[in-house]
Structures are given as C-alpha cells and as structure tokens.
Amino acid sequence: MTSATSLRLSGVTRRFGDVAALDHVDLDVAPGEVVAILGPSGCGKTTLLNVVAGHLRPDGGTVEVGGRTVAGDGAWVAPQDRRVAMVFQDFALFPHLTVAENVAFALPREQRREGAARARALLDLLDVGALAERRPTEISGGQQQRVALARALAQEPELVLLDEPFSSLDQATRDDVRGEMIGRLRETGLACVVVTHDQEEALSISDRVAVMHGGRILQIDQPEVLYRKPFCSEVADFLGRANVLDGEGLGEVVDTPLGRYALLGAAHGPVRVFVRPELVGVRPDPAGEAVVEAKAFRGHDVMYTLRLADGSVAWAHRPSVDMAEVGDRVAIEPQPGHAALVPVAWSAV
C-alpha cells in the first residue's frame, strides 16, 4: 500500500549538544521517487537517515512514512515497524548465513514458510540467484551490494534508504552496479533516499537532489536545475567548479571577462553571473587573453585553471583532445549554453 507521500519530514530538528545536526528539515519523497541527499562531511546526512529509520529520535518536528506519523507529535514507531529498509555502506550481511538465508531472514514473518522461494525470486530480480548458496565472504563487493538490496526489498518496505551504498566499490564496478541497482529499484516503484557525498553520483541517479549544509537543506531540485541554477554559492560549489563573473547584461546576453554568453532570463546593466567551466572553450593563441596556470588531466576530460589579464582565475573544462599545456597562452571561446544570474541571496547563506 502506498500513499501520496512515502516520506515526509516537517521541521525536523536533532541536536547533539551545541551542534544542530538537523535544523528544521522539510522533505517530501513521493512513491517511486529517488532523492539523493548530498553534502559535505558533517552536514547531517547520516543523522537524517537515522531519524527516518528510527535509530535516532528527533528533538522537534515530525516524520511520516506512508502517511503515518512514526516520530514526533507524541508518536513513536519502532524501526522494525516503520516499513523502512536500510542498505548500509558495508552491506552488513550476516557472514555465517548463506546469501539466500540472509535474504530469507528479512522476510515478514507470514512469508517465512515459503522463504526459500521468495528469497530466490528477489535474488533473481537482482541477477544474483546463482549465488544463493554461497556465503557473503565468497562473493564480490558488487554482488554483496545486490544481496543487500535484495534483503532490503524482502522487508516489503514503503521506503528504501541507501547510505553511501556504492562508496566501497571500485570505480568500474561502481558505475555498473549503481546504474543497474537504481534501475531495479525504480522497477519496484518504491521511494528511495540515497545519501552520498559524491556529486556526480547524486546528479546521475536521482530524480531530485537535496543539498545539505550545516543541518539544513539549502536547495532541493532536479539535477539539471540544481546544476544550472544553484540558489546559493554553497550549492554551486558543491556541484562542481563555478566561474562567478561580474558582467554587463544586454538583455538576453551578458558580456563577461570570459566573453559573451546567452543568459538564463534577461538583465540590463551590471550583473553577477555564473558560468560552468564546460562553457569556457580554450584555443592556443600566442595573443590570447589567458594563460594556462594548471591542468588536471582526468582521462576523457581535462580541467584547466586559467589566469586572466586582470589577475583573476577561471576554470575551463574541456575534452582531452588537442590539449593546451601549462604556460600556454590561450584565447577563450564561449561555448553554447547559458550563464545564470547569481541570485541576490547568493552570499547570504
């Protein structure tokens, strides 16, 4: 059974001494929606998961799961009765049980009789049915991850919480497992909250991303909106490099020290805008206006740190073909795309 909202946090606060780990957090997650909670270490991500799972009590506010208040307003529902399943960073499988037993153990009591068949069906769903009789130590990290998710689904939850679920996997495995697991989760139609400090992960797997800082959600939006129109500098910076430039609005375009860009919205006169590094092209040119000060080669792409004539620094993110070298003088060539106006609230957070 699902309600219109699988998870609702209203004004949730949780303190540890002087630290507000959660500071009046509001969050709604719809059935079938994948929401990533993204933020730096210590911003409150784990506390949020623990409050939802019932491992911590909030000091204020309410938590609703599937339309039922599970914490706050005098209510308290124990973790095992919340219909919330959590997949931990280290998967937390029982080492002495087989894969199938790990999953069967999590089934609701009334399903235990046909436990083996149900466990097998869930393992098949996640493409690890063939490993049913092995122990967790006899399978790879990516396979353990799938088993952990099968175990979470066995609980027939309303909501699945994933705590940095892919961080212990190596890069190649991570990309594969991540795409596939989130795909399988989507097929189930369950709501899912994923905690991560990896911005690329958050942007690539979720319907909406909530960026946290200091116990608060600064902005929650679709990945593209967050990336292109961040509400404040913390959000902008957390999602990657940002060139913040003073420019001159000319209606639907803006002139900046990095050239002329189309503008999201329209403006006239002095403005401050925000240009992502992939909109900044560079071409080696002895008469160019910038010098390559540093270069971070990342395989298929490269991030240049550029020093401009006025002494300021800018970033350009380019495919790693025909690379400029450190010390080269380059001309800047604006690429198609939009600069965004920096909101008035930009520096107020």
Query: Where does this chain bind ligand ATP (CB under 6 A)?
Result: 16, 19, 21, 39, 41-47, 197
Q: Which amino acid is at 162?
A: L
* Long-range CB pairs of 283-286, under 8 A, 24+ apart, other chains included: 283/330, 283/331, 283/333, 284/324, 284/328, 284/329, 284/330, 284/331, 285/329, 285/330, 285/331, 286/329
How long a stretch of residues is the chain? 349
What's the CA gap between 269 and 255, in Å, rounded? 10
CA 287 from chain center: how many Å? Answer: 42
Q: How many CA atoms lie within 13 A of 119 on its CB side?
A: 23
Other beta carbons within 10 Å of 117? 11
Q: How far is the CB of 176 from ligand ATP (least distance, A)?
A: 24
Q: How far is the CB of 167 from ligand ATP (least distance, A)?
A: 10
Residue 234 near residue 211 (C-beta atoms within 8 A): yes
Q: How far is the CB of 214 from ligand ATP (least distance, A)?
A: 9
Residue 23 near residue 214 (C-beta atoms within 8 A): yes
